[in-house]
Structure 1
Amino acid sequence: MHLDDYVAQDATGIAELIRTGKVTAAEVHAAALEALRTVLPRLNAGASEPFDSPLDHDASGTFGGVPFALKDLVCHAADVPTRMGSRITGPTGLTFPYDTELMARFRKAGLATMILSTSPEMGYNANTEPLIHGSTRNPWDPTRSAGGSSGGSAALVAAGAVPVAHANDGGGSIRIPAAYNGLVGLKPTRGRVPIGPDYQEALSGFACEFTVTRSVRDAAALLDEVAGWAPGDKYRLQAPERAYAREPEHDPAPLRIAVHTESWAGTAVDPEVAAAVDGVAATLEGLGHHVERATPEFDWAEFMLAHYRVWGGFVAESVHAISTMSGLAPSADTLEATVLAGYEYGRALTVIEMGEAFGIVNRISRMMGAFHQRYDVLLTPTTNTPPLPLGYLDANADLDHEAWTRRIFDVASFTPLFNLTGAPAISLPLATTAGGLPIGVQFAADLCGESTLLALAGQLERAMPWADRRPGVHAAA
């Protein structure tokens, strides 16, 4: 398989070529290795070297033989060391003798894992520049961030190395790198995709698992493969009325869409980003949707207080568990400065303080529930700016836990609301800056509204196509 033919296909296209015998899986994997080795030196997006042969997978699965990258965080494969972007995992990382539930489903779907992709330490950043690996660079401009925490996965998909990659999202970590790299990034409803067996829920329910893709149809079809309850899961959601893969094929009925472009944090929004959202809103009106300016109303300071505590508690429990397994103590020698600050903050939290945080979560979630009685979809920027310069979100900076969390959400103020509520949201690559950098546009729906988002995303992919865009750092460049 020629490299140009490989990079021209999304995951669905590659699976079809293999299934019909036009190429062999071995030929696809050889092309993927060539693509990975072409872009890795320029992007630094691998948390491991490419595997000589893919991890075991079901060749008869829907995506049988499709190359895949596994983010080195939360989801793990049996007997494959994981570092989680952190020195505290030890010099060779931690190895588990079992797959997580999601990893087992990735294998059953046929995805052929070729490499582990980079993550910031504990996923606690909207950038991917951990001390343990160095800076992951954006293929559209290597002086800029690939976003985080799924920056390695997004960079590899955008650069044509793999058509789809694992990602997870606790405050925007699927959608932010999707926006920065010109990809589709769907954050599913809380509980839609299993996160066990290591967690019942991660980050007090703020975090979820899925992927980044180049096409809407890949996101939809893959959600069919990995969604659904596993024994012992905290949540058991009703399955959709029809397969998610069918949704992008059909235009949705006219939707009530609220548009908001001002940062809830009160921080600046780049004019090109705001203009991009306005342009999408105009397109939606032309497609027959009812669009109006409206925003959920909530207190940002109270919102952030909940995040300080939920994130601090999660960092503390994560560091404690990893320290116990690795035998390495939390210190400046094993953790980046802001992660160490989060660990210390979390250790000092009281039950009453966490209860207050969950009270805030409840109030804001119920406010959003009422908002979605009036609007089917909320349209916003995904991020406040186009991709930021490398180093802007430096996790080894001398900042306390609250200051660090504010620094992240000051420039990523549109994504974390939907982690708090658990509602689904998707970032679509619907615009670019005058200089050619991707701009992501976010759509959020009520709980269990993935079908609505995927139908709307499919409609916009036809109306405002992006498949012909290619970054400067690319496997076939």
Structure 2
Amino acid sequence: MDDVLRLDAIGQARAVRDGQVSPRELVEAAIARIEARDGELNAVVHPRFERALAEVDGLPADAPFRGVPILLKDLGWAQAGEPYSAGSRVLDGVPVEADGHGTVRLRAAGFVVLGRTNTPEFGSTITTEPVAFGPTRNPYDPAYSAGGSSGGSAAAVAAGMTAIATASDGGGSIRIPASLCGLVGLKPTRGRVSFGPLGGEGWSGFSCPGFVTRTVRDTAAALDLVSGYVNGDPYDAPRLPGPLAEEVGADLGRLRVGFVSSHPRGDVPDVPEVTEAVTRAAGLLETLGHDVSPGCPEALGEADFPRHFGAIVANNLAAEMANIGVRRGRPVRMEELEPRNAAMVGAAGNHSAAEHILATQWIDGFRRRMAAWWDSGYDLLLAPSLGVAPFELGWIPPDDLSVALGRTAHAVGYTSPINATGQPSISLPLHGTRAGLPVGVQLVAAAGREDLLVRVAAQIEQAAPFTHGALR
């Protein structure tokens, strides 16, 4: 069964349809894989193996992913009646009231949910080391971080527990774990995937649901399943020309690509492994026939961006704590939170409602200034997925907030601006350190152009097939 588990989700679904394996056998094999590897990695915090096995025999025969195992990130992706923690103990005993729209669509497609994956407390940092559940370890080297906030999902997929897992990205939380775990991670356009019915938006529109996978075609097919406006959503993404799955292998033409590996803001240190990853990716794109040259949006260098972005995130975290207090019937005390989140909630108390609105208006202008670069004739921006080298667990210190915030700001220097603009972006596993740790690169398209990202990512994947060294 190891050979079947090494297949991507589309390959596993085909193996079921062809009778090579039954849905139950596939689910049992994935459970055995989790039991064998998760003791070391700590990726799955809420397993639901017995319930999964009880569900697998009743799946519709025509479901496209019948019997394919999946894991859900324990932040968003609600499933009624299941535990939900968001990396924290403050939600203990608070019931999940309804399935999320995305969860419903995945299960209707035949995916079997095996459990929920580890995440930092409320997804507010780039490494998955919550006090409540302990650290998730990178399957390439357990001394290293799997990233965050979708670190549990990324570690699970990289280790072959499942071929696919859900994720979300508010400042880089799909792309950063994808980079650190050698995976494909696409942050969709704002509004592409609904937060309903329990939510309208995440982090004032910065956050987007998505997936981590081992292949471009899995990412495309999964997004096709969950995408689409639902009445009442606050945003609607531009319509795609057709299913993303049909963009895999489609003709691409010659693209104009700008690339950057030295942050124009000047406060993100250059990292040799990161520079080398971008340089090699630029060379590959050039050999594939694209027009590649140094260049990026001038707005990426604006010094005021981190302050406004950080204030909006802090305000959203404070609002979330207030909501949790109402839902559980008692306020969240600051001592219940990890120091980072307590500090962010405290900082939010210094922001007036008018200041919050002014910050969102500044971001509105930033989004237009960034978009002008794509309007000028560029198709794609090539940049690092992570502004720092792969890092060990503990590198983001829980108690030294000044160091932690500074390192986090460097790490998200290339990703968080794309959350602010709402554009789609994909991280691809194209490089590695001399120690064998993955290093991803990021491609950013104009709003609504996931189709372009899937086309070019599939072209790259074919030219330089992704290796998955943690599938042992």
TM-score (norm 1): 0.94
Residue correspondence of structure 1 range 168-247 to structure 2 within 5 A: 168-247=168-247
Would the aligned equivalents of 1:261 and 1:277 in 2 still touch at CA under 8 Å?
yes
Q: What CA RMSD, in Å, does the superposition of the two structures yield over aligned residues? A: 1.6
Q: How far off its partner does 1:239 sit?
A: 3.0
Would the aligned equivalents of 2:5 and 2:12 in 1 still touch at CA under 8 Å?
no
Q: How far off its partner does 1:70 sit?
A: 0.5
- In structure 2, give the amino acid aligned to 1:146: A
Corresponding residue for 2:298?
297
Q: 1:352 aligns with which of 327, 340, 354?
A: 354
Residue correspondence of structure 1 range 250-269 to structure 2 within 5 A: 250-265=250-265, 266-269=267-270
Corresponding residue for 2:380?
377
Would the aligned equivalents of 2:203 and 2:316 in 1 still touch at CA under 8 Å?
yes
Would the aligned equivalents of 2:335 and 2:342 in 1 still touch at CA under 8 Å?
no
Aligned to 1:48, what secondary structure does the other structure show?
strand
Corresponding residue for 1:311?
313
Corresponding residue for 2:285?
284
Partners of 1:398 and 1:32 lie apart in 2 by 39
Corresponding residue for 1:458?
458
Partners of 1:56 and 1:80 lie apart in 2 by 14
Corresponding residue for 1:20?
18
Would the aligned equivalents of 2:98 and 2:197 in 1 still touch at CA under 8 Å?
no
Partners of 2:47 and 2:270 lie apart in 1 by 38
Q: 2:35 aligns with which of 12, 24, 37?
A: 37
Closer, same or farther: CA 422–275 of 1 in aligned 2, 3 Å: same
Pair 1:102-2:124 in alignment: no
Q: Which runs of 5+ in 1 are unaligned?
A: none
Partners of 2:33 and 2:49 lie apart in 1 by 13
Partners of 2:86 and 2:337 lie apart in 1 by 11
Q: For residues 298-331 of structure 1, give each alpha carbon's deviation from its aligned partner in whole angstroms, at most 9, with x where no partner exists.
A: 3543101211211111110111111222245333
Partners of 1:229 and 1:288 lie apart in 2 by 36
- In structure 2, give the amino acid aligned to 1:23: V
Pair 1:272-2:270 in alignment: no
- The number of residues matched between the two structures is 465
Partners of 2:213 and 2:121 lie apart in 1 by 23
Partners of 1:391 and 1:150 lie apart in 2 by 17
Aligned to 1:34, what secondary structure does the other structure show?
helix
Partners of 2:66 and 2:351 lie apart in 1 by 46
Partners of 2:152 and 2:346 lie apart in 1 by 28
Aligned to 1:258, what secondary structure does the other structure show?
strand
Q: How far off its partner does 1:220 sit?
A: 0.6
- In structure 1, give the amino acid aligned to 2:26: V
Partners of 1:319 and 1:398 lie apart in 2 by 22
Closer, same or farther: CA 405–398 of 1 in aligned 2, 3 Å: closer
Q: For residues 59-97 of structure 1, give each alpha carbon's deviation from its aligned partner in whole angstroms, at most 9, with x where no partner exists.
A: 43222211000110122101002011112113xx42223
Identity %: 38
Q: How far off its partner does 1:444 sit?
A: 0.2
Q: For residues 137-193 of structure 1, give each alpha carbon's deviation from its aligned partner in whole angstroms, at most 9, with x where no partner exists.
A: 000010010000000000000000000001000000000000000000000000001
Aligned to 1:301, what secondary structure does the other structure show?
coil
Q: 2:392 aligns with which of 389, 393, 399?
A: 389
Q: For residues 410-455 of structure 1, give each alpha carbon's deviation from its aligned partner in whole angstroms, at most 9, with x where no partner exists.
A: 1221111110000000000011111111010100000001000000
Would the aligned equivalents of 2:119 and 2:148 in 1 still touch at CA under 8 Å?
yes
Corresponding residue for 1:414?
414
- In structure 2, give the amino acid aligned to 1:34: A
The more displaced of 35-44 and 95-104 is 95-104
Q: For residues 33-60 of structure 1, give each alpha carbon's deviation from its aligned partner in whole angstroms, at most 9, with x where no partner exists.
A: 1110011001011121342242858543
Would the aligned equivalents of 2:238 and 2:447 in 1 still touch at CA under 8 Å?
no
Corresponding residue for 2:364?
362
The more displaced of 153-162 and 98-107 is 98-107
Aligned to 2:44, what secondary structure does the other structure show?
coil
Partners of 1:309 and 1:327 lie apart in 2 by 27
Q: For residues 192-244 of structure 1, give each alpha carbon's deviation from its aligned partner in whole angstroms, at most 9, with x where no partner exists.
A: 01111222111000001011000000001111111001121122334322210
Closer, same or farther: CA 387–139 of 1 in aligned 2, 3 Å: same
Q: Which runs of 5+ in 2 are unaligned?
A: none
Q: How far off its partner does 1:116 sit?
A: 0.6
Q: 2:79 aligns with which of 77, 80, 96?
A: 77
Corresponding residue for 2:431?
431
Partners of 1:61 and 1:229 lie apart in 2 by 22
Partners of 1:382 and 1:208 lie apart in 2 by 16
Aligned to 2:45, what secondary structure does the other structure show?
coil
Partners of 1:382 and 1:209 lie apart in 2 by 17
Aligned to 2:179, what secondary structure does the other structure show?
helix
Would the aligned equivalents of 1:308 and 1:405 in 2 still touch at CA under 8 Å?
no
Aligned to 1:317, what secondary structure does the other structure show?
helix
TM-score (norm 2): 0.95
- In structure 1, give the amino acid aligned to 2:219: A
Would the aligned equivalents of 2:75 and 2:123 in 1 still touch at CA under 8 Å?
yes
Would the aligned equivalents of 2:388 and 2:410 in 1 still touch at CA under 8 Å?
no
Q: How far off its partner does 1:406 sit?
A: 4.0
Q: 1:10 aligns with which of 8, 11, 28?
A: 8
Corresponding residue for 1:335?
337
Corresponding residue for 2:469?
470
Would the aligned equivalents of 1:427 and 1:442 in 2 still touch at CA under 8 Å?
yes
- In structure 2, give the amino acid aligned to 1:113: V
Partners of 2:71 and 2:192 lie apart in 1 by 21
Would the aligned equivalents of 1:56 and 1:107 in 2 still touch at CA under 8 Å?
no
Residue correspondence of structure 1 range 111-150 to structure 2 within 5 A: 111-150=111-150
**Any runs of at least 4 consecutive aligned residues in structure 1 with deviations exceeding 6 A, and if so which?**
none
Partners of 2:335 and 2:356 lie apart in 1 by 29
Q: How far off its partner does 1:254 sit?
A: 0.6
